[in-house]
């Protein structure tokens, strides 16, 4: 009843007072009628409680805390009269000890005082600035929008603590404490144990049997748990690897002294003393080493010479393979063999007709139909040749170019020099080496032009790229042809010049027409410009006459090739010229830088771009030996120089006379071959014997074999042993000569075939395999394997051989000397005799008669005496 009124007024007042309803806290605090009870307090009550209006409690200080006990006491004493009677129940229920009485000066709730009934409200009353400040703050924040960092506020519980408090276990009563004591003397009394059976006395023990306690089987149907929400937490860990820098590599430079410091050191006395004192030790040590090498392993080096102990079969040349072509070598013979310098297992042979000169002339028409060929054989295919080179005429000699194995030069029977280029077919040759044969070809020829791919299994025929002019070349069959090494080239006068191109560009040929010619494969230089232009035009207009070759690198030479220089060999003592058959030049390999740089180049040069340079541009090489040996058709050995000399009178260039000439062989010299181990040892084979020469020794051959029964047709040095060479014979035998073993006869004779041997060439495939290619007159090519005894040499074999040769040279010199001495002796003796003869006619005839008479008388007297002694003469 009384509460209704203030309720409405309070609520109205509350709404008026607080303009925003956003803060429920304030509205709850002020408009809620339950928390406060407005009441009137009489002055007596006021005096009693010390809350007289305007005295104890004022407008500024309207709060007064009254003790609840006092209020209860007052109610008890004055019962219904007490002012507090209307709130009696509330006061009794009041939990706290002090109640708040607020002096309401403005009569906000209708009365002058009001009593706060709840603790919360009391609290709130007592701390009014908070709501006010909060309100003020909110106003502020709305007006200015100033963000301030949130200041942590003390936590205000809103009722959640009640739940937590319900769950907390608190002691409802203080804990009980018990104290148990026992007399001290009763501790530690001796104990006596005795046995007693449990079954005897039933009451002697108490049993506590276990039973199922129902209270422990309760199932909790509901439970209350406290939950607290927390932000997401995540636990993570990481382990870092300890990396520390450490040196990967160090680059350093050695310390070096400057020149000045070095000189200073060298001048110092200390160094002088040091060197003096130390030199003695060194000399001792060095001389010790010189005298004898104490570490030389005699036992190990002994085994080298022991290898000769093998069975007889070991020393024979074993047949490895033999090649005969059914189509092409029927009526033919092989004139020259050459191994391919780079591709192993490929060998080229030149096939020529087996006819004598008259037969050739008679059958010349037939010969034109049968083309001459050079066949390339490979080890992988013994029946079909791999490549065939077409020649204008029979080739007697051919050579691979040392700097470019795809270029082959050959000398023909009609005196022409022929050039081939097989670079298009090198793959074929190489492919067969791997043994693929037909299968590889199928892959390779797919890249070829369509024309050739049809003939997969047929041997390709390569036509020659260039051939020399018939009138400008030799007039006789070219019997020997060789490349000049790439280190130098020869000018028109024969002077050796530096070769800037680094490849072999010049060829030397010889023929029995008494000339040795030097050719150049480059575009020739012409003296006058007009001729040059004409010639250039001519060369350009001329159409390609090689339909098979796509590009002819030697187009500039074809049919117009002229020799660079011609060396003639005039006879020494008579008129006329020598007719060379074979020749041999010195292996002039100088260490020019140009040569070494160019030898590393692997690309194929374009020959048509090369030009013969002028002799003035290149520098002359001093250390090239221009002398060479020539073996002639008549069996002579001629040593001559190819450098041309100038005739002082006419100014023409002419070849000098050869310096030396020897007649050693009785037949054509068919081989002049230089030893691969010694620069100056040459083997010549001809007629029925062979000879070994040393360049520089002009007296004669240092070794001359005895005449053999059969003609020696060819010979060559072994490639691995310096003292071994092979001689081929007319009857198909091979003689193996080992100078260290026997010098009067071959160490071994082996029959290879029945026909005459025409050419022998050795080749080293690997350290285990040395092969010897032998061709015979029937046109068959035999490949033989050289046994271990003939291919491995002992360490000092070269030294022994050179010593032997030196000895032979000495012998020759001594022999000559002796000859001279003998001559001289003979001369002296003749002179003596002459003198004696001339002295005798001084005596007159009478004197001679008288002497004779006297002698006769003496004789008669002697006769008498003897007869008398013998008693035959009677004393008359």
Partner 1 sequence: MAKVEETLKRIQSQKGVQGIIIANAEGIPIKTTLDNASTVQYAGLIHQLLMKARSTVRDIDPQNDLTFLRIRSKKNEIMIAPDKDYFLIVIQNPSE
Q: What mask, x for binding partner 1 by CB under 8 A, covers residues 185 to 214?
A: ------------------------------
Handedness of CA 788, 794, 797, 800 (dihedral sign): negative
> 822 burial class (0-12, 13-18, 19+ CB within 10 angstroms)?
exposed
Nearer to partner 1, 177 or 255 (CB): 255
Among the listed ranges 53-61, 281-289, 355-363, 810-818, the one in contact with partner 1 (CB under 8 A) is 281-289
Nearer to partner 1, 148 or 250 (CB): 250
Among the listed ranges 279-287, 413-421, 443-451, 767-775, the one in contact with partner 1 (CB under 8 A) is 279-287
Which H helix or E strand runs over 121? helix 119-126
279 lines the binding site for partner 1 (CB under 8 A) = yes
Q: String of b and e for 75-106 (b: at least 16 CB within 10 Å)?
A: beeeeeebbbebbbebbeebeeebbbbbbbee
296 lines the binding site for partner 1 (CB under 8 A) = yes
287 lines the binding site for partner 1 (CB under 8 A) = yes
Of residues 328, 333, 315, the one with CA closest to residue 757:
333
> 224 burial class (0-12, 13-18, 19+ CB within 10 angstroms)?
exposed
How far apart are CB 251 and partner 1 at their closest, in Å?
15
Given candidates 256, 449, 602, 767, which one binds partner 1 under the rule CB under 8 A? 256
How far apart are CB 606 and partner 1 at their closest, in Å?
40
Nearer to partner 1, 262 or 864 (CB): 262
Of residues 625, 372, 302, the one with CA closest to residue 487:
625
265 lines the binding site for partner 1 (CB under 8 A) = yes
How far apart are CB 767 and partner 1 at their closest, in Å?
21
Please report, as residue ranges, which positions from 81 to 100 form the binding site for partner 1 (by CB under 8 A).
Answer: none
796 lines the binding site for partner 1 (CB under 8 A) = no
Could you count the other beta carbons within 10 Å of the beta carbon of residue 179?
A: 4
Are 755 and 776 spatial neighbours (Cβ–Cβ below 8 Å)? yes
How far apart are CB 261 and partner 1 at their closest, in Å?
8
299 lines the binding site for partner 1 (CB under 8 A) = no
Q: What mask, x for binding partner 1 by CB under 8 A, covers residues 618 to 637?
A: --------------------
Given candidates 201, 247, 251, 267, which one binds partner 1 under the rule CB under 8 A? 267
Contacts of 735 (CB under 8 A, 6+ apart): 726, 727, 728, 729, 746, 748, 749
Among the listed ranges 262-270, 577-585, 705-713, 733-741, the one in contact with partner 1 (CB under 8 A) is 262-270
285 lines the binding site for partner 1 (CB under 8 A) = yes
Among the listed ranges 259-267, 758-766, 787-795, 854-862, the one in contact with partner 1 (CB under 8 A) is 259-267
How far apart are CB 809 and partner 1 at their closest, in Å?
25
Could you count the other beta carbons within 10 Å of the beta carbon of residue 128?
A: 13
Of residues 424, 376, 378, the one with CA closest to residue 398:
376
Nearer to partner 1, 274 or 654 (CB): 274
Among the listed ranges 131-139, 291-299, 314-322, 833-841, the one in contact with partner 1 (CB under 8 A) is 291-299
Count of helices and strands (H, E) across the chain: 21, 37
Of residues 711, 757, 714, 763, the one with CA closest to residue 733:
757
**Cα separation, 693 vs 552, whole angstroms:** 42
Among the listed ranges 118-126, 270-278, 592-600, 728-736, the one in contact with partner 1 (CB under 8 A) is 270-278
304 lines the binding site for partner 1 (CB under 8 A) = no
How far apart are CB 266 and partner 1 at their closest, in Å?
6
Among the listed ranges 51-59, 195-203, 273-281, 527-535, the one in contact with partner 1 (CB under 8 A) is 273-281
Given candidates 262, 742, 803, 864, which one binds partner 1 under the rule CB under 8 A? 262
**Cα separation, 432 vs 459, whole angstroms:** 12
Direct distance between the N- and C-terminal alpha carbons of the chain, in angstroms, rounded to an integer: 239
Are 477 and 350 spatial neighbours (Cβ–Cβ below 8 Å)? no
Given candidates 195, 293, 541, 874, which one binds partner 1 under the rule CB under 8 A? 293
Nearer to partner 1, 274 or 859 (CB): 274
How far apart are CB 249 and partner 1 at their closest, in Å?
18
646 lines the binding site for partner 1 (CB under 8 A) = no
Contacts of 742 (CB under 8 A, 6+ apart): none
Nearer to partner 1, 185 or 281 (CB): 281
CA distances from 30 to 26, 138, 146, 818, 851 (A): 6, 19, 30, 161, 205
275 lines the binding site for partner 1 (CB under 8 A) = yes
Please report, as residue ranges, which positions from 216 to 255 form the binding site for partner 1 (by CB under 8 A).
Answer: 254-255
Nearer to partner 1, 40 or 271 (CB): 271
Given candidates 187, 216, 242, 295, which one binds partner 1 under the rule CB under 8 A? 295
266 lines the binding site for partner 1 (CB under 8 A) = yes
Q: What is the dihedral of CA 704, 707, 713, 715, to 10 degrees?
A: -30
Are 59 and 30 spatial neighbours (Cβ–Cβ below 8 Å)? no
Of residues 679, 699, 702, the one with CA closest to residue 691:
702
Given candidates 61, 148, 197, 276, which one binds partner 1 under the rule CB under 8 A? 276
CA distances from 15 to 9, 22, 733, 800 (A): 10, 12, 146, 139
For 483, what's the count of Cα atoms within 13 Å in the CB-facing half-sphere?
A: 21
Contacts of 306 (CB under 8 A, 6+ apart): none
Are 338 and 781 spatial neighbours (Cβ–Cβ below 8 Å)? no
278 lines the binding site for partner 1 (CB under 8 A) = yes
Are 505 and 521 spatial neighbours (Cβ–Cβ below 8 Å)? yes
Given candidates 22, 79, 136, 271, which one binds partner 1 under the rule CB under 8 A? 271
Among the listed ranges 90-98, 287-295, 794-802, 819-827, the one in contact with partner 1 (CB under 8 A) is 287-295
Strands 627-632 and 580-585: antiparallel
- Helix (H/G/I), strand (E/B), else coil: 99: strand
How far apart are CB 272 and partner 1 at their closest, in Å?
6
Nearer to partner 1, 300 or 872 (CB): 300
What DSSP assignment string belongs to 289-318?
A: HHH--TT--HHHHHGGGGGG---GGGGSPE
260 lines the binding site for partner 1 (CB under 8 A) = no
Given candidates 21, 44, 79, 286, which one binds partner 1 under the rule CB under 8 A? 286
Nearer to partner 1, 61 or 258 (CB): 258
Size of the residue set binding partner 1 (CB under 8 A):
28
How far apart are CB 451 and partner 1 at their closest, in Å?
59
Among the listed ranges 288-296, 520-528, 709-717, 757-765, the one in contact with partner 1 (CB under 8 A) is 288-296
Taking only Cα atoms into account, the Rg of the chain, rounded to an integer number of angstroms, comes to: 68
How far apart are CB 287 and partner 1 at their closest, in Å?
7
How far apart are CB 526 and partner 1 at their closest, in Å?
49
Nearer to partner 1, 310 or 795 (CB): 795
361 lines the binding site for partner 1 (CB under 8 A) = no
CA 785 from centre of chain: 33
814 lines the binding site for partner 1 (CB under 8 A) = no
Are 721 and 797 spatial neighbours (Cβ–Cβ below 8 Å)? yes
Beta strands in 445-562 (DSSP E): 461-462, 466-467, 480-483, 488-490, 496-498, 506-511, 515-520
Among the listed ranges 258-266, 563-571, 722-730, 805-813, the one in contact with partner 1 (CB under 8 A) is 258-266
Q: Which residues bind partner 1 (CB under 8 A)?
A: 254-257, 262, 265-267, 270-272, 274-279, 281-283, 285-287, 289-290, 293, 295-296
């Amino acid at each position: 009843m009384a509460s209704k009124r203030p309720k409405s007024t309070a609520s109205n007042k509350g709404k008026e007072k607080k303009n925003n309803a956003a803060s429920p806290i304030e509205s709850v605090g002020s408009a809620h009628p339950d928390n406060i009870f407005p009441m009137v307090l009489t002055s007596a009550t006021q005096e009693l409680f010390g809350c007289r209006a305007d005295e104890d409690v004022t407008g500024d200080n309207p709060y007064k805390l009254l003790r609840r006990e006092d209020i209860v006491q007052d109610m008890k004493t004055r019962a219904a009269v007490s002012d507090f009677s209307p709130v009696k129940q509330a006061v009794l229920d009041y939990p706290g000890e002090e109640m708040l009485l607020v002096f309401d000066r403005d009569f906000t709730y209708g009365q002058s005082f009001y009593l706060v009934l709840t603790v919360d409200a009391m609290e709130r009353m007592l701390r009014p600035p908070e709501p006010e400040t909060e309100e003020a703050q909110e106003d502020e924040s709305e007006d200015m929008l100033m963000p301030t960092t949130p200041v942590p506020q003390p936590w205000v519980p809103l009722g959640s603590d009640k739940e937590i408090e319900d769950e907390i276990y608190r002691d409802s009563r203080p804990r009980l404490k018990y104290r148990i004591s026992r007399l001290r003397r009763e501790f530690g009394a001796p104990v006596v144990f005795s046995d007693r059976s449990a079954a005897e006395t039933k009451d002697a023990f108490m049993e506590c049997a276990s039973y199922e306690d129902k209270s422990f089987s309760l199932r909790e149907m509901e439970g209350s748990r406290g939950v607290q929400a927390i932000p997401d937490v995540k636990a993570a860990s990481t382990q870092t690897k300890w990396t520390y820098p450490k040196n990967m590599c160090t680059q350093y430079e050695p310390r070096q002294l400057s020149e000045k410091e070095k000189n200073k050191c060298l001048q110092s006395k200390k160094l002088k003393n040091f060197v003096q004192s130390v030199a003695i030790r060194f000399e001792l040590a060095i001389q010790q080493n010189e005298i004898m090498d104490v570490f030389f392993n005699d036992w190990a080096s002994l085994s080298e010479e022991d290898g000769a102990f093998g069975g007889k079969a070991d020393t024979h040349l074993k047949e490895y393979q033999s090649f005969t072509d059914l189509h092409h070598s029927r009526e033919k013979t092989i004139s020259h063999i050459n191994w391919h310098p780079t591709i192993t297992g490929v060998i080229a042979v030149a096939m020529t007709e087996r006819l004598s000169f008259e037969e050739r002339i008679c059958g010349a028409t037939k010969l034109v139909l049968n083309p001459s060929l050079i066949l390339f054989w490979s080890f992988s295919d013994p029946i079909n040749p791999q490549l065939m080179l077409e020649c204008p005429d029979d080739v007697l000699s051919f050579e691979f170019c040392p700097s470019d194995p795809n270029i082959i030069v050959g000398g023909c029977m009609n005196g022409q020099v022929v050039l081939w280029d097989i670079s298009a077919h090198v793959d074929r040759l190489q492919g067969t080496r791997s043994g693929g044969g037909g299968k590889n070809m199928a892959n390779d020829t797919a890249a070829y032009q369509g024309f050739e791919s049809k003939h997969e299994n047929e041997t390709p025929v390569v036509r020659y790229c260039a051939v020399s002019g018939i009138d400008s070349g030799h007039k006789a069959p070219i019997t020997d042809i060789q490349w000049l090494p790439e280190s130098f080239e020869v000018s028109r006068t024969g002077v050796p010049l530096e070769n800037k191109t680094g490849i072999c560009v010049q060829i030397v040929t010889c023929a029995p027409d008494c000339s040795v010619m030097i050719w150049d494969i480059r575009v020739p230089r012409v003296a006058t410009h007009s001729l040059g232009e004409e010639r250039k035009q001519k060369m350009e207009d001329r159409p390609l006459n090689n339909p098979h070759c796509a590009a002819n690198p030697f187009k500039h030479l074809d049919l117009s090739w002229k020799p660079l220089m011609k060396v003639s060999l005039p006879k020494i003592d008579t008129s006329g010229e020598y007719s060379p058959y074979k020749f041999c030049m010195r292996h002039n390999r100088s260490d020019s830088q140009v040569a070494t740089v160019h030898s590393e180049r692997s690309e194929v040069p374009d020959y048509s771009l090369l030009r013969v340079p002028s002799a003035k541009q290149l520098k002359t090489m001093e250390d090239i030996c221009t002398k060479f040996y020539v073996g002639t058709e008549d069996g002579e050995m001629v040593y001559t120089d190819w450098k041309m000399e100038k005739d002082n009178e006419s100014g023409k260039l002419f070849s000098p006379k050869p310096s030396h000439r020897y007649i050693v062989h009785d037949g054509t010299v068919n081989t002049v071959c230089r030893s691969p181990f010694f620069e100056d040892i040459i083997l010549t084979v001809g007629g029925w014997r062979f000879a070994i020469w040393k360049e520089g020794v002009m007296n004669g051959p240092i070794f001359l074999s005895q005449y053999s029964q059969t003609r020696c047709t060819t010979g060559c040095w072994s490639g691995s042993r310096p003292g071994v060479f092979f001689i081929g014979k007319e009857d198909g035998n091979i003689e193996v000569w080992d100078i260290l073993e026997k010098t009067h006869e071959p160490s071994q004779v082996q029959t290879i075939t029945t026909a005459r041997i025409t050419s022998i060439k050795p080749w080293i495939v690997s350290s285990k395999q040395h092969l010897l290619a032998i061709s015979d007159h029937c046109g068959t090519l035999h490949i033989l394997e050289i046994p271990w005894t003939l291919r491995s040499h002992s360490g000092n074999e070269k030294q022994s051989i050179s010593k032997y040769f030196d000895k032979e040279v000495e012998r020759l010199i001594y022999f000559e000397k002796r000859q001279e001495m003998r001559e001289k002796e003979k001369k002296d003796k003749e002179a003596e005799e002459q003198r004696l003869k001339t002295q005798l006619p001084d005596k007159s005839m009478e004197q001679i008669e008288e002497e004779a008479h006297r002698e006769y008388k003496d004789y008669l007297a002697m006769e008498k005496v003897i007869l008398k002694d013998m008693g035959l003469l009677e004393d008359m």
